[in-house]
Chain A
Amino acid sequence: MTDRAIRILIAKPGLDGHDRGAKVIARALRDAGFEVIYTGLRQTPEMIAEAALQEDVDVVGLSILSGAHQTLVPVIRQTMNAHDLADVPLILGGIIPEQDHAEMAQAGVEAIFGPGTSTADIVTTIRRIVAERGEPTA
Chain B
Amino acid sequence: MTDSAPSLAAAVLSGSRRALARALTWVENEHPDSAALLSTLYPHGGRAWVVGITGAPGTGKSSLVTALALRLRQQGETVAILAVDPTSPFTGGAILGDRIRMRDLSGDSGVFIRSMATRGSLGGLIRVLDAAGFDRVLVETVGAGQSEVDIARAAQTTVVVEAPGLGDDVQAIKAGILEIADVLAVNKADRAGAENTVRALRAMLELGHPTQRNRMVNHHGQRMSAEAPTQDDHEAELWVPPLVRTVATREATPENDGIGDLLDAIDRHRAHLTHADGDKLRQRQRGRIEGELLDRLSHALMARLLAALPAGTLEAAIDDVQSRQRSPHHAVQSLLDSAGKAAQPNGV
User: Which of A's residues lie within 8 Å of B, judged by CB?
Assistant: 1, 3-5, 26-27, 29-40, 44, 46-47, 50-51, 53-56, 83-85, 87, 136-138
Contact = CB atoms under 8 A, between A and B. Distances in A.
20 contacts: A3-B92, A30-B91, A30-B94, A31-B93, A35-B94, A36-B93, A37-B99, A38-B96, A39-B99, A40-B100, A50-B107, A51-B106, A53-B21, A54-B114, A56-B24, A136-B25, A137-B25, A137-B26, A137-B29, A138-B3
Contacts of B341: none
Nearest to A1: B29
Given A1-B31, A4-B29, A46-B107, A56 B21 contact: yes
B329 interface: no
B93 A5 contact: yes
A86 to B, nearest CB: 11
Contact of A36 (B17, B25, B94): B94
Nearest to A27: B95
Interface residues of B, number: 32
Contact of A84 (B18, B26, B96): B18
Nearest to A4: B29
B324 interface: no
A51 B107 CA distance: 10
A40 B29 contact: no
Given A55-B114, A56-B22, A137 B31 contact: yes
Contacts of B114: 54-55
B113 interface: yes
A87 B97 CA distance: 24
B1 A87 contact: yes
A54 B112 contact: yes
A51 B95 contact: no
A56 B88 contact: no
A-B interface, 4 closest residue pairs, ranked by CB to CB distance from nearest? A30-B93, A40-B100, A56-B21, A33-B93
Interface string B78-96: 0000000000101111111
Contact of B96 (A37, A40, A44, A56): A37
Contacts of B96: 35-38, 55
B216 to A, nearest CB: 43
Nearest to A41: B100
Contacts of B309: none
Contacts of A85: 18
A65 B205 CA distance: 52
A35 B116 CA distance: 8
A17 to B, nearest CB: 16
A37 B115 contact: yes
